[in-house]
Structure 1
Amino acid sequence: MSDPQIAVGMLLILLLAIFLGFPVAFTLMALGVAFGYYAYFDAGRMWRSYERAVESGADSWTLTESWVGGFFNNRIFDLFVNQTYSVMANDVLTAIPLFLFMGYIVERANIVDRLFNTLFIATRRLPGSMAVAALITCTLFATATGIVGAVVTLMGLLAFPAMLKAKYDVKYASGVICAGGTLGILIPPSILLIVYAATSGVSVVRMYAAALLPGLFLAGLYLTYVIGKAVLQPHLAPKPTKEQVGDHSFLEITWMMFTSFVPLAFLILAVLGAILFGFATPSEAAAIGALGGLLLAAAYRALTWQRLKESVYLTARTTAMVCWLFVGSATFASIFAYLGGQQFISEFVTGLDMSPLMFLIVAQLIIFLLGWPLEWTEIIVIFIPIFLPLLPHFGIDPLFFGILVAVNLQTAFLSPPMAMSAYYLKGIAPPHVRISDIFRGMMPYMTIVIVCMILMYLFPQIVYWLPNLIYG
């Protein structure tokens, strides 16, 4: 068996281990070290070391020590240590724990319930006003946290029961929560974009600028669908009663917006603006965001020692997961390329004589299917590096490809049978809400995501306009 065939077998073993439920980061490291030992193994050097010890008349203990030392004298261990250090010293990844901390502290500051109620009152005259308020809240909160499970769960506890109590259709209400909760991995400041930038070498700043309009465009398509559905089928979203919205003057609503919507929006815009306009690096802006989250929680009198401790713990846990994924992926990818696996795949794909459009469709379809069993972190860190070397051959910009991937991964949380958003919501929904109802509620949004990707391909200025405007 040739080395490239062994590399492909290595990839197949990884996929099998993932499907069997083994921890991905440690599976990557184990496979990288095991196959790397084979790749770098030099039997002659080990025997020469042992023979020198025999010729010198060494005792049995020294001979055993020489044998063991020769066995572990393999470059894979040096590679593993170097990859670990290079990942931990990566300046781009410094922003991840800071943005995560900002999200976790905002999540625990009781800001979302006030924001949802205010937006519901402010949009009370729109068709499907409660769903509109839930979607806007999801978008803003998801942007602040970037953690899909946290957004869907919290909004499922807050907005979903309120919509069901207001006689909203179960499928209509569940689709809004699930779709809105996924937007945080696309709209900056997104952790996914930082991870993709670190993987591909694309500037984080340009990634943020390129993702902003597609993210807002997708959210706008969601809003259009929600309002249009309520107009065409009013029974799905009954108009709010006076008891539900109360009697508020314009000044009261303005003050409510000022104290609930404005602070969180200002925090997000300040962080994003500092990055886009070059006032701060992503890591520095993330530090500002973390401090702003603390100040915001203190201003709402929600900053307690318990909440702070929980936020720090969750930040450390999630950051460790991402960083060890990078270590495992870097080790695995190095051995995979050393054995010729990357070249084998490149030659196979280029030999198919596909057009750039066909390659994009195939690549996005593979990513869509990988989104069923895998989290976005695993897809970005493990499988995107396989596609990246093929992009120059097809003349595809890694920036554009990355934004397409970020939009595509919305479907990973919305497509049955493994749509994680549905299971997050089902876990906290009332017993009468069936998983099949949640699935049916999400399907229109998956179609909207596909439409958004098609429009991005037909009109690439949706991606390029803002980065070209700011940076030339």
Structure 2
Amino acid sequence: MAYEHIALLMFTSMMVLLITGKRVFGAIGFVAVVAAFWLWGQGGSEMAFSAAMKLMKWYPLLTLPLFVYMGYMLSESGLAEDLYRMFHVWMGPLPGGLALGTLGLMVAISAMNGLSVAGMAIGASIALPELLRRGYDKLMVTGVVQAGSSLGILVPPSVVLVLYGMIARQPVSQLWLAGVFPGLLMAGLFALYVVLRCRFNPRLGPPMAAEERRTITRREKLASLRAGIAPLFIFFSMTGLFLLGFTSLVESAAVGAVAATLVALFKRRLSAAVLESTLRKSLGITCMFMWIILAALCFGAVFDGLGAVAAIENLFVESLHLSPWQILVLMQLSFIVMGMFLDDTAMLVIVAPLYIPLVGALGFDLVWYGVLYTITCQIAYLTPPFGYNLFLMRAMAPPGIDLADIYRSVLPFVLVMLLALALVMLFPQIALWLPQWYSASAGGDL
């Protein structure tokens, strides 16, 4: 059997196993191990061992449990509730103001935890019930929470960009900086959509009642701003010190985790129950990531040994005569399709051995492509029928919101995300200007 056919058989077998609902790491690892023994006999047993050792030697992987811990500490200790109260007081009087405040909350949470699931948990448990109680349209606000939470994987410190940087061997600092303007652009487009919808149909987002506005004094409004001090402290202590060169990537993650814990302690929110819940959830998420990466490394080693990357490049360029941009668009479409069934990490580690070398061979910037990949993951999160965020919302949504409502609520935001993706593809400097400027001001590459 030709190596190209073996590579196709491996990929097809893996996708079939994933569709059956098997564990992601089990499906990937099983196909990789069977193929390794089939191709190289007893020598194939070394591939899994080598992948495990490579994983253990990835020092930057220590950032993963630290970022996960930080996000859950913010959620479990109630610090996010204080932040939402601040947005409530200041944005509530505007038409659609609480929806805009929810987007602000999602951006702030994204800048402190780097995960989508933490933002979703906070938005669904804190913001969504309040918005529904105040008469906001359930479709619009459900979409706001889902789309806003997806910013967690793009706005630094993004865990997804850290994993992409490890696999693509790109500087994480460059990737984080590259995600800033696209993340803010997408948040701004979300906000613009909410403003326009509520302007033409005020019933979708009624402003805070006049009686309630009168009960909020100026002193109370100013005092609520103190809720923003903790996020700024955590963000600067982590990302700021890293970009200023005072800490390494792993050290910045450790500083952020310690800062989140100290803030919870200072506010007297750090109880034994909060700490236990945070550690338990952090351990579960971290172990899931580790198993997936381990299986993917083994799968990638077999693929690389087959020469599958060169075969696919030859298929696209020589046989089908596709241009580099056509190939890039096809890759992004494949991510959206896979996102109907897989989470972002699984998508990355499955296709990384194929796409990342191909992107480099086609002459595209790998930092820029990391941003495109992440935006496409955000779109895939919200794409029916099996988008990751859709089922998270179904599990967390209050009574009265069913799966059909959740599907309908995300469609306008998917279109907004597609617009953001097109803008970043057409104007790469949206993503590349900040890392290039910072690299030049720092006197060299980061």
TM-score category, normalised to shorter length = over 0.9
**Mean CA deviation greater in 454-463 or 375-384:** 454-463
Alignment of 1:101-250 (within 5 A): 101-245=69-213, 247-250=215-218
AA in 2 matched with 1:414:
L
**Mean CA deviation greater in 202-211 or 21-30:** 21-30
Distance of 1:381 and 1:78 partners within structure 2 = 20
C-alpha displacement of 1:246: 5.1
C-alpha displacement of 1:244: 4.0
Q: Give yes or no for contact 1:126–1:227 (8 Å, CA) kept in 2.
A: no
Distance of 2:213 and 2:347 partners within structure 1 = 43
Overall identity of the aligned pairs, in %: 27
TM-score, structure 2 length as denominator? Answer: 0.94
Distance of 2:189 and 2:312 partners within structure 1 = 37
C-alpha displacement of 1:164: 1.2
Number of the residue aligned with 2:372: 404
Distance of 2:12 and 2:212 partners within structure 1 = 55
Distance of 1:141 and 1:243 partners within structure 2 = 30
Number of the residue aligned with 1:88: 56
Q: Give yes or no for contact 2:339–2:388 (8 Å, CA) kept in 1.
A: no
Number of the residue aligned with 1:449: 417
Distance of 2:353 and 2:312 partners within structure 1 = 12
SS at match of 2:58: coil
SS at match of 1:8: helix
Distance of 1:165 and 1:336 partners within structure 2 = 53
Alignment of 1:296-335 (within 5 A): 296-335=263-302
Number of the residue aligned with 1:349: 316
Q: Give yes or no for contact 1:128–1:230 (8 Å, CA) kept in 2.
A: yes
Deviations 1:16-40 (A, max 9, x none): 0011111121222222222111221
Number of the residue aligned with 1:359: 327
Distance of 1:430 and 1:27 partners within structure 2 = 34
Number of the residue aligned with 1:273: 240
Structure 2: unaligned runs, 5 residues or longer? 441-446
SS at match of 2:215: coil
Q: Give yes or no for contact 1:10–1:31 (8 Å, CA) kept in 2.
A: yes
Distance of 1:277 and 1:397 partners within structure 2 = 24
AA in 1 matched with 2:301:
S
Task: Give the CA RMSD over aligned residues.
Answer: 1.6
Distance of 2:307 and 2:5 partners within structure 1 = 8
AA in 1 matched with 2:96:
G
Q: Give yes or no for contact 1:5–1:341 (8 Å, CA) kept in 2.
A: no
C-alpha displacement of 1:394: 1.9
Specify whether residues 82 and 206 from structure 1 end up closer, same or farther in structure 2 by C-alpha distance, changes over 3 A only.
same
Structure 1: unaligned runs, 5 residues or longer? 42-73
C-alpha displacement of 1:375: 0.4
**Mean CA deviation greater in 24-33 or 461-470:** 24-33
TM-score, structure 1 length as denominator? Answer: 0.89
Number of the residue aligned with 1:23: 23
C-alpha displacement of 1:433: 1.9
AA in 1 matched with 2:15:
L
C-alpha displacement of 1:243: 4.5
Residue-pair matches, total: 439
Number of the residue aligned with 1:293: 260
SS at match of 1:374: coil
- Is residue 361 of structure 2 the alignment partner of residue 386 of structure 1? no
Distance of 1:271 and 1:171 partners within structure 2 = 36
Q: Give yes or no for contact 2:336–2:377 (8 Å, CA) kept in 1.
A: yes
Q: Give yes or no for contact 2:317–2:323 (8 Å, CA) kept in 1.
A: no
Number of the residue aligned with 2:13: 13
Number of the residue aligned with 2:3: 3
AA in 2 matched with 1:34:
V
C-alpha displacement of 1:100: 0.9
Deviations 1:42-88 (A, max 9, x none): xxxxxxxxxxxxxxxxxxxxxxxxxxxxxxxx222222212101111
**Mean CA deviation greater in 31-40 or 339-348:** 339-348
Rg: which structure is higher? 1
Number of the residue aligned with 2:33: 33
C-alpha displacement of 1:194: 0.4
Number of the residue aligned with 1:340: 307
Q: Give yes or no for contact 1:29–1:328 (8 Å, CA) kept in 2.
A: yes
Deviations 1:195-215 (A, max 9, x none): 000110011010011111111
